Structure 1
Amino acid sequence: MNICEEHINITIDEDKIIYGAIEIIKRIRPSWPLQELHFKPFTDGKTNKLVGVWYSEHYTDMVLIRIYGNNSDLLIDRKNELNNIRILNKAGYTHSIYATFNNGFAYQFLEGDTLTIETIRDPKVYPLIAKRMAEMHSLEPENELESKKAFIWEKTKKFMQIMPKRFSDPLKQAKFEMLISPYTVLEKEYHLMEQTLPKINSPVVYAHNDLLLGNVLYNQEQENVVFIDYEYTAFNYQAFDIANHFAEFAGIDEPDYSLYPDENFQKAWLKEYLQKYNESNNVSEEEINKLYWQVTKFAPLPHFFWGCWSLIQSEHSHIDFDFLE
């Protein structure tokens, strides 16, 4: 359904999402009978709140309404996020936006199941992810975006500047001291990575940067995958995007790092990726080994990046999740 995107001057209260969603639906789906609306809250997200709205039997016409998390603009450039969605929708890779409002946007529902720790390594599924990532990395968006420079260093530096150095809550503070290295140590680790990782010469590509289980939809019937949530999409190192995805094999609520993909699996995944990225079925062992080495070297950086992110969330988010843990 191709509907012209509009901006609606409404701010939805996080505690009155259904009421706010109805106001949005009145504007973008005026023919929908309000008494027949159905609502489905989604709980996968760790930054925003999300509700699906549809009426009667028209489940496939569901409109998703996302309300930005409290103070999440500290973490995310919302203008860039919307721009990325428009670019990727135009390329045929993701949903369309129906409308924006003051603290969120309404967009198209895409059918598919979010991945689990089992399906992410399914031989029918993982090649689709590898190929889709390679396609995205091959995109050359128009000059609407920032220069082709890896965003990760400036973004991580910003996170480190705004993340709490101590907590007013004494219980949080005690846990913080027990779990997190002193800031001076973190700063040294950041500078070590900033000095060494660029020397690995991983190409800078148009990257998703946040391919966790919940951000990949698998449609079994159509045998395809779609990426969603482009909050951190930007030019970045190819090896970062892949390493970040591999880290997500462990899951999010109770991460199990024994599920981190072993060398054989990674190389099988990277072969699928390189065949698409190079547009050639003749990918050499040498190419696979080189990319495997680059990804392995980059593996610590996503952990560091999302660690900083978690500290910020632990101070500001209203979502019920132990970000400090």
Structure 2
Amino acid sequence: MGAAKIWDDAMEAKEEARSESNGSFEILSSSLSVDTSLSLPAMKPRIIELCKDIFKKWSNFDASCFSVETVSGGITNLLLKVTVKEENGIEESVTVRLYGPNTDYVINRERELVAIRYLSAAGFGAKLLAIFGNGMVQSFINARTLTPSDMREPKLAAEIAKQLRKFHEVEIPGSREPQLWIDVSKFFEKASKLTFDDDQKRKKYESISFKEIQSEINELKIVGDRINAPVVFSHNDLLSGNIMLNEEEGKLYIIDFEYGSYNYRGFDLGNHFNEYAGYDCDYSLYPSKEEQYHFFKHYLQPDAPHEACLNHKLNTVPSSDLDALYVETNTFMLASHLYWALWALIQAKMSPIDFDYLGYFFLRYNEYKRQKQEALSLANSYLCLTNS
């Protein structure tokens, strides 16, 4: 799917969102695209042209009025901060998010655009201002992204838990069927049919047993279905880079909903805990049971003050609820590893970004195999106990 198709999908989602709010919802648009392979200096005039095309109040401004800087360049998107100095001397900033090339193989952009409207109205993320051929423009959030080590700090972990619970309570139009196994199946189909010209990549890829992976998916799905986890609208990618903090205001922001969908609650929680390891995949940093229970208490009682937990006053959360959520989370933690391992194989073929996606596959899949026995034994023991 090229930029034109993404544009068509965006227009369809825009019209759907507008009709649902009786004409009160409006986002700006442009048919322009920006080549993400360009260096920042080469990209700058194109970004300026895009902003002038979208925001008519800037259309006659000289290029010297614009500054463009990189906010972050992850392994999926490129975020740019565009600051415009207006005639009255006031500066206004927006964020331009450029989709990574070929990311439509793994991301449903239509679903994302519909979700943004409702999540933004509920106070999550940046406000969607405009869409264009291969990206979107959002309001600029004056905050820093967290690091993996930030997420395990007790006070921040408590706030993330509260925000995630409220995130899960947002109602998004569309199918409420959990997407986990649907997406895993799609990823598996694409990942198992790849070819690589590079000899080193081909040898690594050919060492993978897709028959084994399919068996692992089938086994895990059986246990996951028995858990009967609640289905909520999930972020599905709550890593440190998708959480921002304004330290002066003490305000936390959950951002970037491109992988968002209705999904099993335990997947969102387990996936978040896996991200304590960071891109280096140091899984010794996976949260302990005590750290997880601290998170769960605030997730289950999002309106309780942080001090209550520190003073052990959140004991009104039944231990049975904590135990159940622990089993649910650590079962779907395994699914998170399979999901991103298969995702990484597709990216190894499709993405032009300089990242060792094949190596990332093995890190995730090997961790899945390392954790599997303990996590599934815990789940099966719990299910036997509760069903007896």
Q: Tell me, yes or no, whether TM beats 0.5.
A: yes
For residue 152 of structure 1, what is the amino acid of its counterpart? L
Q: 2:118 touches 2:171 (CA, 8 Å); kept in 1?
A: no
Q: Provide the residue aligned with 1:208 in structure 2.
A: 235
| Secondary structure of the corresponding residue to residue 43 of structure 1 | strand
1:71 matches 2:102: yes
Separation (CA, whole Å) in 2 of partners of 1:3 and 1:93: 17
Q: 2:112 touches 2:260 (CA, 8 Å); kept in 1?
A: yes
Q: Provide the residue aligned with 1:13 in structure 2.
A: 35
Separation (CA, whole Å) in 1 of partners of 2:122 and 2:162: 15
Find the partner of 2:118 among 75, 81, 87.
87
Change (3 A) 1:248 1:26: same
Separation (CA, whole Å) in 1 of partners of 2:92 and 2:230: 39
Bigger relative CO (Cα 8 Å, ≥ 6 apart): 1
Separation (CA, whole Å) in 1 of partners of 2:99 and 2:330: 33
Displacement after TM superposition at 1:86 (Å): 0.7
Find the partner of 1:258 among 265, 277, 284.
284
Count of residues in correspondence between the two structures: 318
Alignment of 1:1-325 (within 5 A): 4-16=26-38, 17-29=43-55, 30-31=57-58, 32-56=61-85, 61-141=92-172, 144-146=173-175, 148-163=176-191, 164-178=193-207, 181-252=208-279, 254-276=280-302, 282-325=316-359
Provide structure 2 residue ranges, at least 5 long, that are not aligned to the other structure. 1-23, 306-312, 360-388
Change (3 A) 1:203 1:59: farther
| Secondary structure of the corresponding residue to residue 198 of structure 1 | helix
Deviations 1:148-178 (A, max 9, x none): 2211111111111112444221111123345
Choose 275-284 or 263-272, whichever is displaced more: 275-284
Change (3 A) 1:221 1:159: same
Separation (CA, whole Å) in 1 of partners of 2:73 and 2:158: 24
- Indicate the percent of aligned positions where both proteins have the same amino acid: 33
Q: 2:29 touches 2:54 (CA, 8 Å); kept in 1?
A: no
Change (3 A) 1:59 1:114: farther
Q: 2:68 touches 2:82 (CA, 8 Å); kept in 1?
A: yes
Displacement after TM superposition at 1:324 (Å): 0.9
Separation (CA, whole Å) in 2 of partners of 1:277 and 1:172: 50
Deviation above 6 Å: which 4+ runs of structure 1? 57-60, 277-280
For residue 217 of structure 2, what is the amino acid of its counterpart? Y
Q: 1:44 touches 1:214 (CA, 8 Å); kept in 2?
A: no
Displacement after TM superposition at 1:49 (Å): 2.1
TM-score normalised over the length of structure 2: 0.77
Normalized per residue, which structure has more helix? 2
Deviations 1:41-77 (A, max 9, x none): 2334211222211034989732111221111111111
Separation (CA, whole Å) in 2 of partners of 1:274 and 1:61: 39
Separation (CA, whole Å) in 1 of partners of 2:351 and 2:78: 11
Q: Provide the residue aligned with 2:9 in structure 1.
A: none
Q: 2:239 touches 2:275 (CA, 8 Å); kept in 1?
A: yes
Q: CA RMSD in A?
A: 2.3
| Secondary structure of the corresponding residue to residue 258 of structure 1 | helix
**Greater Rg by CA:** 2
Displacement after TM superposition at 1:97 (Å): 1.3
TM-score normalised over the length of structure 1: 0.91
Separation (CA, whole Å) in 1 of partners of 2:35 and 2:254: 28
Separation (CA, whole Å) in 2 of partners of 1:33 and 1:270: 52
Choose 81-90 or 25-34, whichever is displaced more: 25-34
Q: 1:138 touches 1:277 (CA, 8 Å); kept in 2?
A: no
Displacement after TM superposition at 1:220 (Å): 1.5
Choose 51-60 or 122-131, whichever is displaced more: 51-60
Choose 257-266 or 277-286, whichever is displaced more: 277-286
Change (3 A) 1:220 1:3: farther
Provide structure 1 residue ranges, at least 5 long, that are not aligned to the other structure. none
